Chains A and B, each alone.
Chain A
Amino acid sequence: METIIIQLLNGLDKGSAYALIALGLTLIFGTLGVVNFAHGALFMIGAFCAVTLNRILTLSHTVIDETQTDFLGNPLKVEVPYVNGIFGEEMGAFIIDWNVPLAIIFAIPIMVAIGVIIERGLIRHFYKRPHADQILVTFGLAIVLQEIIKAFYGANPIPTPAPDAFRGSFDFGVLLGFDPYTVIYPYWRLIYFIFSMIIIGAVFAFLQFTTFGMVVRAGMADRETVGLLGIDIDRRFTIMFGIAAAVAGLAGVMYAPINSPNYHMGMDFLVLSFVVVVVGGMGSLPGAVLAGFLLGILQSFASMSAVIETIPGINQVVIYLVAIIILLTRPRGLMGRKGVMED
C-alpha cells in the first residue's frame, strides 16, 4: 500500500510537468494549428531563467580577507554579492535563497516576449505550409535555442536549489497512519504539483471566464467566422502563443530544483509530451492535462522494482505501449474532437 501511494505521488510531479508542457502544445495547436516542436526548448529556457536570475543575484565583487588563506596560502579572496551591499547581508542571502520563486516573476515577461517574437518572426510564415514543414522549422528552432543556451551556460547541468525552507521532505506515512519514513515525499515536488494545478486552473479560467478567452475559444472552433465578425483573431492567437510559451517556461522554472537544468532537458520532455497530446486527443485541453497525469503516474508505477523484475525495461516503453493501445482503440485519443487533424 505504501509503495502504491509513493509511486502515485511520484507520478504526480512527473505528470505535472507533462501536463503543463502538453497544455501549452495543445493551446498552440488548437489556436494556430501549428505542431510546435520547439515547445520543449521553451520549457528548457524557462529553467534557464531561474539559472540566469541566480547569476544576476549572485553578481559579486571580490574582497580580500587577510585573516584567512586559500589553498595556495595566499590571502583568501571572498566573493561578496552586490545584493548583500544593497539589501544588507541577511536580506541579500534571503533573496538569493528564494531565487527560484522569484524567477517566476522574472520568467513570465521574458517567456511571453520570446513566444511572441517566435510566432511573429518565424512561425506565422508557416501557417499555410504543410504540418511536415512546421515540424521541421520548429524542430530546427529548438536546436538553435539549445545551442544558444549551451554557448552561454555550457553543457553541464547547473544545480539550482529550492529555497532552504522547502529542501526537506514530508512524511506522508505518518499522516496516513503508516510507520514513519515509509512514505516520504520532498516538499518541493509537492509544491510543483500544487503550482501546476494552479497554472492549469488559471489557464482554464482565463479561457472560460474572460472575453478574451471566449474569443479565442470561438476562434479555435471557427476561425473564419470570428474574423468575419471584425475581430482581429490573429493578434489574439499571437498572445495565446506567448501565454503557451509562458506556461512551458513556468513549468521549467519550477522544475529547476528537481533536476539541475541542462541545455538538453527540453528534448527529454518534448517527445513524451507529444505522446501525451496525442493520447489526450489533439486539440483537447482537458485531454492533455488528463493524459499528462495519467501517463506520469503510469510511468512511475512501471518503475517499481517488482514490475521491472517481471518485465525488464518496461519503465522505458510503457508510455509508448499505452499510446499504441489507446490509438488503436480510440484513434482520436482520450478526449479528441472530431475533425481535428483529420483533413
Chain B
Amino acid sequence: MSKTNFTRRGVLKTGALTAGGLAMPTILTAASHAGFTNAPSGGTVTLGFNVPQTGAYADEGADELRAYELAVEHLNGGGDGGMLSTFSSKAIDGTGILGKKVEYVTGDTQTNSDAARASARSMIEKDGAIMITGGSSSGVAIAVQGLCQDAGVIFMAGLTHSNDTTGKDKRANGFRHFFNTEMSGRALAPILEANYGSDRKAYHLTADYTWGWSQENSMKTYTEALGWETVNTVLTPVGAGDFSSYITPVAQSGADVLILNHYGGDMVNSLTQAVQFGLRDMQANGKDFTIVVPLFSRLMARGAGENIKGIFGSTNWHWSLQDDASKAFVKSFGTKYGFPPSQAAHTCYVQTLLYADAVTRAGSFNPCAVVEALEGFEFDGLGNGPTLYRAEDHQCFKDVLVVKGKDNPTSEFDLLEIVEITPRDTVTYPVDHPDFQGGSLGSCNAGA
C-alpha cells in the first residue's frame, strides 16, 4: 500500500484556490470590463425564458415557451420572419442581436415566487442570461422583476396583469407589454352597462394574490361607478381545485352577477363549477343571473368548454384580429405548431422582439442603454395598433379587446368573439393614478 501526503482538507483548499484562480480572468474580462452583468462574449447571446411549466398556469407557460422559441428562430433569420416584416422599427434584420446568434435557456417558475426567483437566479448566474422574460402570474413577475433589478439584467414581463407590476412594484429594469386590471376595468365597464344595465348586484370571487386583489379593486371601482352594488368579495386560495364551498353561498347572497377574478386552471374550475351549480340558469332580483370573467384567454376558454358561451371578458390580443401583424404572427405560429397562438404567446413573442430591437437601436446590451431605448418608444405593427412604452412607468399603452364566449364556435380555436376594440386613449390612465402609487422606478442597474 502506498502512502501519499494528500489530506482531504488540503485537496479541498488547493481545489478551491485553483478554481478561483481560473475563474478570475473570466470575471475580470467579462463582467467588469464591459461594465454590466453577463456582457456577451463570443458569437452568441443568451436569453432566459422563465415560464410556468407546472402548476395552475402551466398551459399558458407552455404556449409562452413556444412563442419564445419562435421569436428566437425569427431573430436568427429562420422561419418566415413573423412580425419582423410588420414591425414599424426596422432595426432587427434576422441576423441575431447585434450580430450575435441568439441562444436561450428555460426555467420553470412553478407559478411560485420562490421557485421563479431561484430559476431566474440560476439562469443569470450559471447560464449567463442577459435578459429574463416570462412569468404567467403577477406574483411571480413582481418577484422576478425585483431580482432582475438587483442583478442588473433587463426583465421583459410576460403575462402579468396586476396593476402593481408597473405600479407600486415597478422597477427601472422591468418592462410590461401586457395590459393591466385598470385597463380591463375601463374597457369592460361600458360593455357591461350596455348589456346588463346599471342596476346590478355583484359578488366577487378573487384569487388571493396580487393579481386577484388588483383585478377585484379595478372591477369594483368601475362597476360601482356604473351604479352596481358590490354585495360581497371573497378571497380564494390559488389552486383551490374544488370551489364549490365558495360558489354555493353566491346563490343566496342577493347578487345577480358573479365576477370571477380567477385565471388559468382556477378559472376553468370555478367557472365550470359555477355552471354546474346552476348559477347561469337562475334568476335573481328579477334578472338573469350572469357571470363575468374580467381576464379571458383562449386557453382558458378551451378548458372551460361550453360554460364560457356568452360570458364577457377582456383580453390583450386575439388570433382572429385582422391586422397584418396579427395575421403574420398567427401564420408563422400556426404553421410551426398547428394551432393559433394565445395572448400569452403573443405578448412574450412581442417582448422578445422589442428587447432585440431596443438593444439594436441602442447599439449595446448594457441594460441602461436598453432602458433608454425602450422608454417613450412609440411603435406599431406588433398586433395591437400604435403602442407607447411609457417612460414614467414602463407600461405599454395600446388598444384593449373586449371579448365574449362565442355561442356557435366553428372550430376548437374559435371560442371567443371580439365585441369591441377599446381604443388606446380610453384605457390610458394618468401617471399619478392613485392605484399605481407607492413605489418608484428608481434608476437602472447595469450590475457588475
> CB of A70 within 8 A of chain B?
yes
Q: Given the complex of chains A and B, what is the CA–CA distance between A36 and B201 in angstroms? A: 49
Q: Give the size of the chain A interface in residues (CB under 8 angstroms).
A: 43
A7 and B248 in contact, given A72-B330, A167-B276, A305-B234 (Cβ under 8 angstroms): yes
> CB of A182 within 8 A of chain B?
yes
Hey, which chain A residues are within 8 Å of B273, CB to CB? 186
A184 and B282 in contact, given A155-B53, A259-B242 (Cβ under 8 angstroms): yes
Hey, which chain B residues are within 8 Å of A68, CB to CB? 410
| In contact, A159 and B305 (Cβ under 8 angstroms) | yes
Hey, which chain A residues are within 8 Å of B59, CB to CB? 156
| In contact, B282 and A181 (Cβ under 8 angstroms) | yes
> CB of A14 within 8 A of chain B?
yes
**Nearest chain B CB to A143 CB, angstrom units:** 14
| In contact, B242 and A71 (Cβ under 8 angstroms) | no
| In contact, A71 and B276 (Cβ under 8 angstroms) | no
Among the listed B55, B249, B279, B411, which residue makes an inter-chain contact with A305, where contact means beta carbons less than 8 Å apart? Answer: B249
| In contact, B58 and A156 (Cβ under 8 angstroms) | yes
* A:1-33 near B, CB below 8 Å: 2-3, 6-7, 10, 13-14
A300 and B276 in contact, given A3-B252, A70-B411, A159-B305 (Cβ under 8 angstroms): no
Hey, which chain B residues are within 8 Å of A157, CB to CB? 265, 268-269, 303
> CB of A168 within 8 A of chain B?
yes
| In contact, A7 and B245 (Cβ under 8 angstroms) | yes
Residue of B nearest to A6 (CB): B248
**Nearest chain A CB to B330 CB, angstrom units:** 7
Q: Given the complex of chains A and B, what is the CA–CA distance between A182 and B251 in angstroms? A: 6
Among the listed A186, A303, A305, which residue makes an inter-chain contact with B277, where contact means beta carbons less than 8 Å apart? Answer: A186
> CB of A265 within 8 A of chain B?
yes
A168 and B340 in contact, given A3-B249, A76-B411, A159-B305 (Cβ under 8 angstroms): no
> CB of A161 within 8 A of chain B?
yes
Q: Given the complex of chains A and B, what is the CA–CA distance between A187 and B334 in angstroms? A: 39
| In contact, A72 and B334 (Cβ under 8 angstroms) | yes
| In contact, A71 and B411 (Cβ under 8 angstroms) | yes
Query: Of residues A171, A300, A303, A315, which shows the largest number of chain B Cβ atoms within 10 Å of its Cβ?
Result: A303
Hey, which chain B residues are within 8 Å of A2, CB to CB? 252
Residue of B nearest to A305 (CB): B249
Residue of B nearest to A186 (CB): B276
A184 and B319 in contact, given A10-B244, A10-B248, A159-B305 (Cβ under 8 angstroms): no
**Nearest chain B CB to A65 CB, angstrom units:** 11
Q: Given the complex of chains A and B, what is the CA–CA distance between A167 and B410 in angstroms? A: 23
> CB of B100 within 8 A of chain A?
no
Q: Given the complex of chains A and B, what is the CA–CA distance between A4 and B435 in angstroms? A: 39
Hey, which chain B residues are within 8 Å of A71, CB to CB? 319, 330, 334, 339-340, 411, 413-414
Hey, which chain A residues are within 8 Å of B282, CB to CB? 180-181, 184
Residue of A nearest to B335 (CB): A72
> CB of B99 within 8 A of chain A?
no
* B:228-253 near A, CB below 8 Å: 232, 234, 237, 241-242, 244-246, 248-249, 251-253
Residue of B nearest to A173 (CB): B251
**Nearest chain B CB to A154 CB, angstrom units:** 8
Residue of A nearest to B330 (CB): A71
> CB of A225 within 8 A of chain B?
no
| In contact, B251 and A72 (Cβ under 8 angstroms) | no
A169 and B277 in contact, given A182-B251, A258-B242, A303-B246 (Cβ under 8 angstroms): yes
Residue of B nearest to A17 (CB): B242
| In contact, B305 and A161 (Cβ under 8 angstroms) | yes
**Nearest chain A CB to B229 CB, angstrom units:** 17
Hey, which chain B residues are within 8 Å of A258, CB to CB? 242
> CB of A52 within 8 A of chain B?
no
| In contact, B241 and A268 (Cβ under 8 angstroms) | yes
Q: Given the complex of chains A and B, what is the CA–CA distance between A260 and B53 in angstroms? A: 18
Q: Given the complex of chains A and B, what is the CA–CA distance between A167 and B232 in angstroms? A: 28
Q: Given the complex of chains A and B, what is the CA–CA distance between A305 and B245 in angstroms? A: 9
| In contact, A315 and B245 (Cβ under 8 angstroms) | yes
> CB of B54 within 8 A of chain A?
yes
| In contact, A184 and B265 (Cβ under 8 angstroms) | no
> CB of B95 within 8 A of chain A?
no
Q: Given the complex of chains A and B, what is the CA–CA distance between A182 and B248 in angstroms? A: 9
Q: Given the complex of chains A and B, what is the CA–CA distance between A168 and B237 in angstroms? A: 26
**Nearest chain B CB to A288 CB, angstrom units:** 21
Q: Given the complex of chains A and B, what is the CA–CA distance between A188 and B242 in angstroms? A: 14
> CB of B283 within 8 A of chain A?
yes
**Nearest chain B CB to A71 CB, angstrom units:** 5
> CB of B66 within 8 A of chain A?
no
> CB of A304 within 8 A of chain B?
yes
Residue of B nearest to A185 (CB): B277
Hey, which chain B residues are within 8 Å of A10, CB to CB? 244-245, 248
> CB of B331 within 8 A of chain A?
yes
Q: Given the complex of chains A and B, what is the CA–CA distance between A168 and B279 in angstroms? A: 11
Having A71-B334, A260-B268, A304-B249, one finds 9 other A-B pairs with CB under 8 Å, namely A72-B334, A155-B53, A157-B265, A180-B283, A185-B277, A260-B303, A304-B245, A305-B234, A315-B245
Closest 7 CB pairs of A and B: A303-B245, A181-B282, A169-B278, A155-B54, A184-B278, A186-B276, A72-B334
